[in-house]
Chains A and B, each alone.
Chain A
Amino acid sequence: MKYLLILIPMALLPLVLNDFWLSQVLTRALIMGTIALSLSFLATYLGVVSFAQVTLAGVAGYAIAYFGPNTVGVGVPLPLIVTIPLALILAMAAGAMMGYIARRSRGIYAIMITLAIGVAFFYFTRQNYVLFNGFTGFSGVIAPALGEGNWGDPKPLYFLSLIVAAICVGLVQGFVRSPLGLAVQAVRDAPGRLLALGIPTTLPIVAAFAFSGLIAGSGGILNVWFQERVSSFSVGFGPIIDILIISVIGGLRHPTGAFVGAIVYVVLDIFAIDLIDRDRFNLLIGIVLLLIIVAAPNGLTQLITDGAKKLRGGAAKSRTT
């Protein structure tokens, strides 16, 4: 219910914000946050840091472009009610495959494997013209029509992203309480013990990655409608690092922290350009990241919740005295 306290004000924001703020700050943060949520989910509940969540988002994005309207003349347009589920299923299948490949890997090894998958996908999209249209990728990927305009317009896309983000957070919370979600956390804590209970570890691992593909894929679909394009750059090193930074800023222990991280990141990204030039942005974000890691090793979200707890504790104390 406390999420309504966040959702309702956010749903009212379009009344006071102009389109630039809505699109370039909030919608972008919601989309990046959703993709980062898929990473935070894996890190929090499976204990695995994946560098290939952007890849999963990309799979869904490419599916929307290939099976939908685009201006490059590649692909097979299908009806929307087929395209969207298909994109999500492909992202989940890709996630499941990744999970299966990385099923025995933890820590640095899981990072290396997922990074290798991400990089391989990046180069593959550049070289393959039949499915991915090579280097240039797809452009003119317009969101479904909505009245006069389409779902990609600032206000509709903002609402859509907000709803999708809320659904994804809800899905994560539901999943981690389900028997399968409990098994995922058990793999994180003591895989051998789970085996000793007769539950093999591969199933929860593959399921967690597939589920993360669903979340990342949802973000990927929104992203391709937001950008109206998808190319190798959407799945390259840049976005991979961006998503990682967002998750770390938000705190890998808090799935919802991904959105806090995304807002911080996007605001810095936009306003730093006015102050310093584009090339220095990486320096700035690096410094911010460093400060956050030093000041709040568990991310901003932890810092905020701790602060809130302290405030509440203080308030309670002053009430009793």
Chain B
Amino acid sequence: MPLSDAHNTTANALETQGIGKRFGGFWAVKDVTFSVKPGERRAILGPNGAGKTSLFNILTGDYKASAGSIRLFGEDVTKQSIPKRINRGLRRTYQHAYLFDGLSVRDTLFLAVAGIRGGWRQVLPVRLSDPRRAEAERLAEVAGITQFLDRMVSDLSHGQRRQLEIGIALAEDPKVLLLDEPAAGLSPAERPQLSKLLLSLPKEVTVILIEHDMDIAFQTSESVTVLFNGELMAEGTPDEVMADKDVHQIYVGGAHGH
């Protein structure tokens, strides 16, 4: 595609062309082509091992794609480093909370702001009062963990850790947010709170959400992509997808359903 395309305002927020990831002889993700419009809320469904997390890892650069290409707002990022993609506005949360246990919530959010703002240069200044501190507090508020700002991450509950993950992902003006099962392990009481948080995200933010909880997925998303055995199986509105015979098979008749 021509270079001028990179700043095309009508470009999709995210667009993949035949991407795949191979481990040995096994394709965890295979020939996936899909696109998400700016501001769209997309749910990704699929049974365990379908390749959902691997797909995220390819999108963020945690995994090098074995095949295909990825465009972020029209720009080819397939070979870009993780920090570059972060710079372009791509953020993620992790399925298995992967946090700094020995730091406080405040310091974790501070590092997130600092790192995303400018990488290593941002950790060099030693100033004590710091505008990034205020930004960290704002994130805690958005994520609903203000009262835990000074708690050690290791002392947080599972649900609070999830909220912190989202707080980190929201640092510095995200444009595309990849959320990997944010509701996993939450108590029934915590789930509506998460839905509320997801619905309260700024409209212009594109959200791609991996979720086993259908309620949360359908409440917060206008479109759905279903992966199965690494491949794209169905795509459409929630109603369309649920009406799909194959999808029905794996979710209702299948052995994998959650």
On A, residues with C-beta under 8 Å from B are 178-180, 182-183, 185-186, 188-190, 192-200, 203-204
Contact = CB atoms under 8 A, between A and B. Distances in A.
B92 A196 contact: yes
A190 B86 CA distance: 18
Contacts of B122: 179, 199
B194 interface: no
A186 B116 contact: no
A117 B82 CA distance: 33
B124 A195 contact: no
B239 to A, nearest CB: 36
Counting contact residues on chain B (CB < 8 A from A), the size range is 20 to 34
Contact of B111 (A192, A194, A200, A203): A194
Contacts of A195: 82
Interface of B: 60, 62, 82-83, 86-87, 92, 94, 98-103, 107-108, 110-112, 114-116, 118-120, 122-126, 168
17 contacts: A179-B124, A183-B111, A183-B123, A185-B102, A189-B99, A196-B62, A197-B86, A197-B115, A197-B168, A198-B87, A198-B115, A198-B118, A199-B115, A199-B120, A199-B122, A203-B123, A204-B123
Contacts of A190: 98-101
A194 B102 CA distance: 13
Contacts of A188: 102
A45 to B, nearest CB: 8
Contacts of B99: 189-190, 193
A189 B168 contact: no
B86 to A, nearest CB: 5
Contact of B101 (A183, A189, A198): A189
Contacts of B168: 197
A270 B182 CA distance: 60
Contact of A179 (B92, B100, B110, B116): B110
Nearest to B60: A196
Given A179-B124, A198-B115, A199-B122, 9 more contacts: A178-B126, A182-B107, A185-B100, A185-B103, A189-B101, A193-B98, A196-B62, A197-B168, A198-B86
A182 B111 contact: yes
A261 B110 CA distance: 34
Contacts of B107: 182
A198 B126 contact: no
B139 to A, nearest CB: 13
Contact of B116 (A178, A183, A189, A198): A198
A194 B168 CA distance: 11
A194 B94 CA distance: 13
Contacts of A186: 100, 103, 108, 111
A198 B83 contact: yes
A182 B101 CA distance: 12
B170 to A, nearest CB: 13
Contacts of A200: 119-120
Contacts of B119: 198-200
Which of B82, B87, B120 has the most chain A CB atoms inside 10 A of its CB? B120
Contacts of B82: 195-196, 198
Nearest to B124: A180
A254 to B, nearest CB: 14
Contacts of B92: 196
Contact of A180 (B98, B102, B126): B126
A88 to B, nearest CB: 18
A41 to B, nearest CB: 14
A199 B114 contact: yes
Contacts of B123: 179-180, 182-183, 199, 203-204
A189 B154 CA distance: 10
Nearest to A200: B120
A196 B125 CA distance: 21
A193 B100 contact: yes
A188 B102 CA distance: 9
B137 to A, nearest CB: 16
The 5 closest A-B pairs by CB, nearest first: A197-B115, A198-B83, A199-B115, A189-B100, A179-B123
Given A179-B124, A199-B119, A189 B103 contact: yes
B117 to A, nearest CB: 8
Contact of A194 (B62, B115, B118): B115
Nearest to B92: A196
Nearest to A197: B115
A182 B123 CA distance: 9
A151 B149 CA distance: 47
B127 to A, nearest CB: 9
A182 B98 contact: no
Contacts of A196: 60, 62, 82, 86, 92
Contacts of A199: 111, 114-115, 119-120, 122-123
A182 B113 CA distance: 13
Given A189-B99, A199-B115, A200-B119, A182 B62 contact: no
Contacts of B62: 196
B159 to A, nearest CB: 19
